[in-house]
Structure 1
Amino acid sequence: MLNYASTDLYPLDPISIDGLTRYIEQALLSTPQLRQVWVSGEVSSATHHPSGIYFTLKDKVGKAALPAVVWKSQIPELETKPQVGTEVLVFGKIAVYAPHGKYQFQAQQVLPLGEGLQALRLQRLKQRLAAEGLFDRERKRALPAYPQTIAVVTSPTAAAWGDIARSLLARDPGVLVLFSPATVQGENAPNSIERAISRVAIDGRAEVVILARGGGASEDLSCFNSEIVVRAIAECPVPVVTGIGHDRDESLADLVADASATTPTAAAMLVVPALQDRIDAHFTRIDRLQAAMQRVAIERQSQLDRLRLRCERIKPDRQLALEIDRLHGLQQRLQRAIAAKLQTVSQQHSHLRERCQTLDPRLVLQRGYAL
């Protein structure tokens, strides 16, 4: 056993406190893992000082605590400031505070942990894609007025697929629906959605694409904030309409799409106008055309009557007789043109009526068929 009272064991040149502190500081700085390190913890205290923000990180599971500081010059660079009770992710280095002989964590960046960190990543991705112009209104394409072929990208087991199919059938039984299945939840969802949209592009028949999913938790809908999905929508050769069933916020897929709706059913109604509305619009156009033709006929008849009155007041001659004959011929040609146009409109009307009767599901049910 050593006897420390023995004078021959005392060093001739003892190290000073300052020297020991510098030695410890050099030892910490010479360790690469301590010069640049990310630390997670809960802020248990925070004090604002003219020189910076002094705070303490507490381990959420254990009892360990770490004193930390953000110098005044670094505060404007922080994504978030340390606040008591928040969980944060801090980047910085370990240093020694010589006056107190303690080590502390000198922070260079503070990020929110958990949902806050995910929101920050989403915000940065949104800003980067917006800078590329993917969300600009100028690049959005107009939807076809009366599409005959529609592609639907969603899960085959999701309720959204049934809602869309029923809505499209009810609004226009003659529309052709192409189904491109995809996984719309989980880690594999972004790549699955990208492949489904690519299949539609390769097929080439669709005039518009509906990308849909029913409601769910925010983490279940995170695939629609994936950069892979955003770029797949932007590169699709035909317009894309999103119908993602959540009203709390917009996904990046909604922002890049050519049009968006709050639910899958609303997306189907946005893409395909109701057949009855088209019929009513057609009848309205017929009425407007007939009224326009009648106004023209009345105007021409009025001009003809004025010319006839003028002719009756003067002595008729050969030139005047020829003019009258020309006007009579013009009147006959105009009447024949009006009659031919009205006949064409009547034929279109009859064709549309026959088509509506053929597509009416009530006639099928009256013959004894049922689903």
Structure 2
Amino acid sequence: MFFFGIEHEVAFVNQEGEFADFSCTKFADFEQIIARLPTYPSDYPQLRVGDAGVKSKRWYIEGFERFANSGEAIDCVPKGIEIRTTIHSDIQGAINELSASFQLLREVAADFGFSPVLISFNPHKQTYVPQPPLNDYEISYLQGYPDEQTANIYMVSYGPDLNISADNLSTERLIDIGRKLTYYSPYIVPFSYSSPFYNGCLWSGLSVRTFIRTGKRSAALVFLKKAEELIASIPSLTKVARIPAEIGRIEFKAFDSCDDFSLYAALLALLKGLVLDETLTERATVPDAALHQLSAKQGFSNPDIFIKATHVLQAAELALVNDPDVHYLTVLKQILKHGQTKSHQLIEVYQRLGSIAATLKQTYRD
């Protein structure tokens, strides 16, 4: 049996039409939204609350936590609000919960002047620099967590974690699946591309997020039970599960964000097919940064990316041939056939309207 979950980062514009990032938004601005959203006691222990207690609901403020030299948490610099679903035994259940949570977030955020917009990389800020600079405690803390040292990237990038797990997978099998997804990542991430803006301008490719992020941060992350099971890599491929519900979870982290949640259903089905597939033989422990950059620039218009993506999609479809989830792959076949991603749509709207702000307002439309 398979299990599925989704973590979806939401970016916002404020009532002045500004992109609501760390330059103009405080923790309290988003906290008032979170305070109005409900708590579901039955969600736990499926969802991790964390040491700082910020993740106490299905919605929480995504950002960079700041600490005093004493180690006390004193602030969280926000970049947006993350929605996470509980664990579901079917793909549609996860999609339905995400859709309901997003709609509730949208309604409450509107009361405070915030509107969700789809983007996978901050369209105006190239990087994040902590202010004030990191103190001695923070520097020491971050040295113990290599992935946390790339806050300059994750504070300007937005994307989903698509979570999948299955019964009775050994540690060796889990790591093998993680290495498989890492290798084939540059061929499947174009299905989701939605970040064609950079530094206030139209970028020369389809996914700034992929170009900058992947290679420095993980494409896939596998949660294991014990520290002795981990394998060494930077960025990390494996991580010790923080709660029992995480043990055996495989997170695919390299997709761009989607405002059509049915695409997440298709991508989860693709991941399921790749878990079941036994024909694709290539593996990688760390993402190929150069290949991801080529993919980010050209997407499916690159012949090699197109051919390999076709091969991967066919392998997943064959693995799911007797599974009802195979129908979710239809949308991916259409994207591949026409070579048109969400970024192509955003570029077309931008060229027509001449404004990033106006373009972003066309996203998340009912």
Normalised by the length of structure 2, the TM-score is 0.20
Task: Between the two structures, name the one with larger relative contact order (CA 8 Å, sep ≥ 6).
Answer: 2
More helix by share: 1
More strand by share: 1
